Amino acid sequence: MKKNLVLLSWLGFMVSLGFGSISAVLPYYILYLAGKLDRLPETFERISGASSYALEYTALMSAFMLTRAMMARYFGTLSDRVGRKKIILVGTLFYVLMALAYIASSSTIHLYLIRGFQGIASAMVWPVAEALLMDTTDPSYRGRAMAVYMIANNLAMTSGPAIGAAIYKFGVIVLGIKDVGSALKFPFYGLALFSSLAIPATLLLEENSQRNVSSQTLSNSNIQIKISEETKRSIKAIYAMAIANGVGMGLTAPLYSIFIIEFIKADPAAVATVTTIAGLLGLMVTYPAGRISDSMGRRPVIISGTFLSRLTTMLIPFSKSLKLFGALSSIRSIAFNFSMPSFRALQADIVPREVRGKIFGTVQAAFNIGAVIGPLIGGHLYQLYAPKFLKFWKISIPGAAVPFFISAVIGLITLLVFIKFVKEPRSQR
């Protein structure tokens, strides 16, 4: 059902655009609330000591992931019983409410609470939206459908920082906002606007009749869905991978901005430009990768993209210039976007429709459990080692590389788990 593909892509785009737009200013807002910024950040060349607040910043991600981990399986299972659309609609409305709360925030405690509640909204929207998309998409088109959906989301996330920085600059230059706190909070209004624009799409979503019948049957009975042993092994392996990938992602994702701020460039526009270019280059391979996986199989696409993305993660902290950081980030983004749509489509191929919400929710819950732990460990390691250099034989390695190395190793281990245990359904080969 291509209508749902368009609507869910729009929904994902607008919510992700809002989220991405504030990511450009959140590190600075944390520094401002901590009393580290007494003037606009672009007046600094670099902000020394930013790494001392890495734990506070990464804890925001942990707060989000904790509540999402707690609720994703519940809402996924609930959507199997009552239908997907209702859950998605309530979650989107909750996103809007939390966007308004950002505007009223005035302390780090407020931010932690908001991010926690935002995690609940995320648990209602994302796993359920993916399940609905796969419910209403022909298996032979799933790779491409997931690619389109991910392009919309990733386009928003990659362009979001640039848009957030543009909103920030508009407030400072055009509107003449000179107060540091007011200037940094100005992009939060964009978050509220973008989140609101997602609501109409949720109202127009459709669930096919087979989906509705399945929901009614499950809500009125205790029918057990028969799953083969091979499928069970694949699902269990995906659960284990999800936790490990959550830890690996959480170790580094919140640290990229802090790394640039402290070691490369402090201007929000510079940070946003690099992440936007890298993201856009990654998007260029997403649909072709989905098409390849539909015609030639998912596993080769997943394995090759995952390996390259983990390798470049190791190299990023060796960047000494914005250009080198941008080049490595671009390669990593291309590799990630090459593999991820196929991996999501493979999950849908493996999982029966009747329990897809539950399984998708459990996968995201497992990922989020890891992503709660990862940022806390990564923030602590970065805070501890970033000011130092570590010696291995005659090689001097920047301390900032420690969480990136650990993340890459975890990713390579999960790739081996995938190769060994996750099998592609014969009907999809």
* 241 and 414 Cβ atoms separated by less than 8 Å: yes
State the pLDDT at residue 410. Answer: 92
Structural domain includes residue 15:
yes
Structural domain includes residue 209:
no
State the pLDDT at residue 200. Answer: 95
Structural domain includes residue 299:
yes
Could you tell me the residue range of the domain that residue 152 belongs to?
2-201+228-428
The CATH number given to whatever domain includes residue 44 is 1.20.1250.20
State the pLDDT at residue 348. Answer: 84
* 192 and 94 Cβ atoms separated by less than 8 Å: no
State the pLDDT at residue 231. Answer: 85
Structural domain includes residue 366:
yes
* 180 and 29 Cβ atoms separated by less than 8 Å: no
Q: Please give the model's pTM, rounded to 2 decimal places.
A: 0.72
Ranges of residues in the chain whose predicted pLDDT is under 70: 1, 45, 48-51, 208-225, 266, 268, 426-429
Token duo for residue 76: 């996924």
Structural domain includes residue 222:
no
Model pLDDT for residues 77-136, shown as the tens digit of each residue:
898 888 899 999 999 999 999 989 988 888 889 999 999 999 999 999 998 998 899 888
Structural domain includes residue 218:
no
State the pLDDT at residue 75. Answer: 93
b/e string for 210-219 if b means 16 or more Cβ within 10 A? ebeebbeebe
State the pLDDT at residue 224. Answer: 58
* Four-CA torsion 415, 418, 420, 426, nearest 10 degrees: -140
Task: Report CA 368 to chain centroid distance, whole Å.
Answer: 10
Structural domain includes residue 213:
no
Domain count, the chain: 1
Structural domain includes residue 279:
yes
C-alpha–C-alpha distance, residues 298 and 304, integer Å: 11
State the pLDDT at residue 90. Answer: 96
State the pLDDT at residue 330. Answer: 93
- Which residue has 């400072």 as its token pair? 172
